Amino acid sequence: MMVPRSKLKGETSEEMAAGSIDRHNQEILKNAEAWHQKPALRAIYKTFHQTIANYLAPLPQPTVELGSGVADIQRVIPGCIRTDIFPNPWIDRVENAYALSFASGSLSNLVLFDVFHHLRYPGTAFEEFDRVLAPGGRVILFEPCVSLLGLLVYGALHPEPLALNQPIQWHAPPDWDPTQIDYYAAQGNASRLFLKANIPQDLNGFRVVTTQRYAAISYVASGGYSKPQLYPTSWLPLMTAIDRLCDHLPQLFATRLLVVLEKVT
């Protein structure tokens, strides 16, 4: 997704959007360097992608990842179509989550890894997801999780806002143009919406199959794409064992949230 940028005097919204995309693309290229330089990061993402693969709907239509970034999901899900809002050599198609180019009923799964919290109007996006998915198709979200540790990691140590007290606008205004994507980030949105006993929003023909919380301390301590790794790569098995122990106390330690939604209409 795009990073925030102040509008300069005399600058059009189109120029501002182009500048934001360019800045974000530079960030993606830096992420690509970290991806190649950090074997622990690649191993952790492989585990994340294997978790996602376990929940894919077993339908014959293709699986698509929206907002793919640089992490290579095709290592685990061969044939998964990788998309983003701008082209790069590793991206298969340029796609806008609010206006997908896929035919109605033509997909089996949509994977959104750290993308849902960038959707300013999630309900509007779900209307589009409902259109392109076949009956029984799934939307799989992998998002930041707000626990005690999650509050520290994503609140104090991450530049994007949690926005826990900000209202979530489920649907876009009637005159909104989906081609005018602007920067939005609210890392707490998935936790706020899907960890409640009753989800108040209309899920546009989807039901919640499962929600799973993971400590993923091995990922946090890896530094991700932008920060130093805090343990040697040889310690990854030990860090993974710590993750499994901490998974039993998700209110304290969960930093990652998996949400699986299935199309029922």
Mean per-residue pLDDT of the chain: 89
236-245's contacts with Cβ under 8 Å and 24+ in sequence apart are 236/40, 236/43, 236/44, 240/47, 242/215, 242/217, 242/218, 243/214, 243/215, 243/216, 243/217, 243/218
2 has a pLDDT exceeding 80: no
Which CATH architecture fits 13-263?
3-Layer(aba) Sandwich (3.40)
Q: For the segment 86-139, what is each residue's pLDDT rounded down to a tens digit?
A: 888 999 999 999 999 999 999 999 999 999 999 999 999 999 999 999 999 999
| Percent of the chain clearing pLDDT 70 (strictly above) | 89
The mean pLDDT of 152-173, rounded to a whole number, is 91
Q: Please give the model's pTM, rounded to 2 decimal places.
A: 0.89
Residue 198 has a pLDDT of 67
Rounded distance between C-alpha atoms, residue 49 and residue 226, angstroms? 20
The mean pLDDT of 241-265, rounded to a whole number, is 97
**Confidence label for 247 from pLDDT (cuts 50, 70 and 90):** very high
Domain ranges of the chain: 13-263
